[in-house]
A and B are shown apart, each in its own frame.
Chain A
């Protein structure tokens, strides 16, 4: 009988000598190698899969924090101050900032780096801009792989920053362990729109620019929303993280386990609503405390295993889909290209279902053939 695990491992892509040296250099702390690996990941260069494969076993030690929010909410400035605060307590930091690219030229101006004023010349903050290159759902794969590179490099904290608009960005930030959603004061309508997809992914809500008018109202609206979410019977009874506001000695986090903790399998974390003024750094330490509390909760409640399982499941599915899609695309090319097939359908010589079946059936037969072989073993 064949061992299914063994065969899965045998599939690991082979590493070329040059790439093996690159991986060794990265693990050894080479900044240039780290930058090069992320470029390979972004470009999907030949061999990038083997590189990410080789890095995987060295990952898992970094706390991954996602920051999202509307344009102009102050994400980049807050990320800068967060990175500086993490550095102050001795942590090394990696930042991936995602900016949209033009759907027309494919070009992009990646402007998040301008805000990184607090960490200039400090190579222990590794800041990398990435453009959303209009790839088919591939952005979250690329950013997740880039996070792996930073994690394997040995960064204690990895911050993932992205605009909170659209499914792609939500997918990106979902690859983080802890997600903070940034809102600016007086954006009552924004809070309404947040409900569509972003509310669900926030582990902390941050009202940035909290020295502006309308802060209290925005905080109140967010709190109401958060508690409505907590009251949802599907989401469990709810722990509270450290209370919002300037109380910063509550780093202990919620009691591990809790009344129904792990057994319920539900989400029992109630997000905090915090205030920051990113320009001055006010509230940044409290925000880091909230991140730490959430990380501690993930570990103690067993939620970490759940989120990781979900994340890797999604990663596997995405990869398999894209590879199978590539197989099918190659098969279409082999049959004269999609235009020729479409023209045949247009002339009523055949129909879309027949064409699809003629392409997929041989692949399916191959798979069945493999099954038969392994049964015979």
Chain B
């Protein structure tokens, strides 16, 4: 039935975790994703990993973009991923990390299940395309 066949909107959570108070970048990304036609939930600043998990599960997002500029990604990202697993939400959530992440750490994060890490200077269009191409298929 034609009414039922609506294009599914891609839902994203843009999350700031930990004690990092810089969210200009997160704002710019949220707007770019909105202009790409996505529905974007922004977490606000200074969120704990459990809050991010709560938001990702309840909002049922396809994409979780974690912005960390503080260097604490090795502590915070695993906690978020563990929380997602607990609610059975890890498998079909595309997890992205943005921020200052050394190459070695990037490899570790990807090992954990992060799909991609975007550093400074990434073209926004690159992120949008990455999401479009990699967003998990859902039943």
Residues of A within 8 A of B (CB): 18, 31-32, 35-36, 38-39, 42-46, 48, 101-102, 105-111, 113-114, 117, 120-123, 126-129, 131, 133, 135, 322-323, 325-326, 329-330, 333
B88 touches A107 (CB 8 A): no
Also in contact, A31 and B34, with CB within 8 A (given A106-B9, A113-B44, A131-B9): no
Across-interface contacts of A43 in B (CB, < 8 A): 6, 8-9
A107 touches B38 (CB 8 A): yes
Also in contact, A107 and B35, with CB within 8 A (given A32-B88, A113-B43): yes
Q: Does B135 make an interface contact (CB < 8 A)?
A: no
Q: Give how many A-B residue pairs fall within 8 Å (CB-CB).
A: 108
Q: Which residue of A lies closest to B47 (CB)?
A: A120
Q: Does B104 make an interface contact (CB < 8 A)?
A: no
Interface residues of B in 62-99 (CB under 8 A from A): 87-89
Q: Does B133 make an interface contact (CB < 8 A)?
A: no
Across-interface contacts of B1 in A (CB, < 8 A): 323, 326, 330
Q: Does B17 make an interface contact (CB < 8 A)?
A: no
Q: Which residue of A lies closest to B33 (CB)?
A: A107
Q: Does B36 make an interface contact (CB < 8 A)?
A: yes
**A68, chain B: closest CB distance, angstroms:** 21
Which among B33, B59, B139 is the interface contact of A128 at CB below 8 angstroms?
Answer: B59
Identify the interface centre among B3, B36, B47: most chain A CB within 10 Å of its CB. Answer: B3
| Complex Cα–Cα for A107 and B139 (A) | 22
B55 touches A113 (CB 8 A): yes
Q: Determine the interface band of chain B, counting residues with CB < 8 A from chain A.
A: 35 or more
Across-interface contacts of B11 in A (CB, < 8 A): 39
Which among A38, A114, A121, A323 is the interface contact of B44 at CB below 8 angstroms?
Answer: A114
Q: Which residue of B lies closest to A128 (CB)?
A: B58
Q: List 24 A-B contacts (CB under 8 A).
A: A35-B60, A36-B60, A39-B60, A42-B9, A43-B6, A45-B4, A48-B4, A101-B39, A105-B34, A106-B9, A107-B33, A108-B34, A108-B40, A109-B30, A109-B31, A109-B41, A110-B39, A120-B54, A126-B58, A127-B55, A127-B58, A129-B39, A129-B59, A330-B1
A31 touches B35 (CB 8 A): no
| Complex Cα–Cα for A61 and B4 (A) | 29
Across-interface contacts of A126 in B (CB, < 8 A): 58
Interface residues of B in 1-47 (CB under 8 A from A): 1-4, 6, 8-9, 11, 30-31, 33-44, 47
Across-interface contacts of A38 in B (CB, < 8 A): 60
| Complex Cα–Cα for A249 and B57 (A) | 38
Which among A111, A117, A122 is the interface contact of B42 at CB below 8 angstroms?
Answer: A111
Across-interface contacts of B41 in A (CB, < 8 A): 109-110, 113, 129
Which among B2, B6, B39, B58 is the interface contact of A107 at CB below 8 angstroms?
Answer: B39
A105 touches B57 (CB 8 A): no
Q: Does B116 make an interface contact (CB < 8 A)?
A: no
A105 touches B58 (CB 8 A): no
B48 touches A44 (CB 8 A): no
Also in contact, A107 and B42, with CB within 8 A (given A31-B87, A35-B58, A120-B51): no
Q: Which residue of B lies closest to A129 (CB)?
A: B41
| Complex Cα–Cα for A18 and B138 (A) | 12
Across-interface contacts of B30 in A (CB, < 8 A): 109
| Complex Cα–Cα for A94 and B51 (A) | 16
| Complex Cα–Cα for A39 and B57 (A) | 11
Q: Does B50 make an interface contact (CB < 8 A)?
A: yes
Also in contact, A133 and B57, with CB within 8 A (given A107-B33, A109-B40, A120-B48): no
Across-interface contacts of A122 in B (CB, < 8 A): 54
Which among A32, A46, A108 is the interface contact of B89 at CB below 8 angstroms?
Answer: A32
Across-interface contacts of A35 in B (CB, < 8 A): 57-60
A18 touches B139 (CB 8 A): yes
A330 touches B36 (CB 8 A): no
Across-interface contacts of B60 in A (CB, < 8 A): 32, 35-36, 38-39, 128
A32 touches B57 (CB 8 A): yes
B42 touches A326 (CB 8 A): no
Which among A31, A114, A128 is the interface contact of B43 at CB below 8 angstroms?
Answer: A114
Also in contact, A44 and B4, with CB within 8 A (given A105-B35, A120-B54): yes
Q: A31-B58, A101-B39, A113-B59 are in contact. List 20 more A-B contacts (CB 8 A).
A: A32-B89, A35-B57, A39-B11, A42-B9, A43-B9, A48-B4, A105-B36, A106-B37, A108-B34, A109-B30, A110-B40, A113-B55, A121-B48, A123-B54, A127-B58, A128-B60, A129-B41, A135-B6, A326-B3, A333-B2
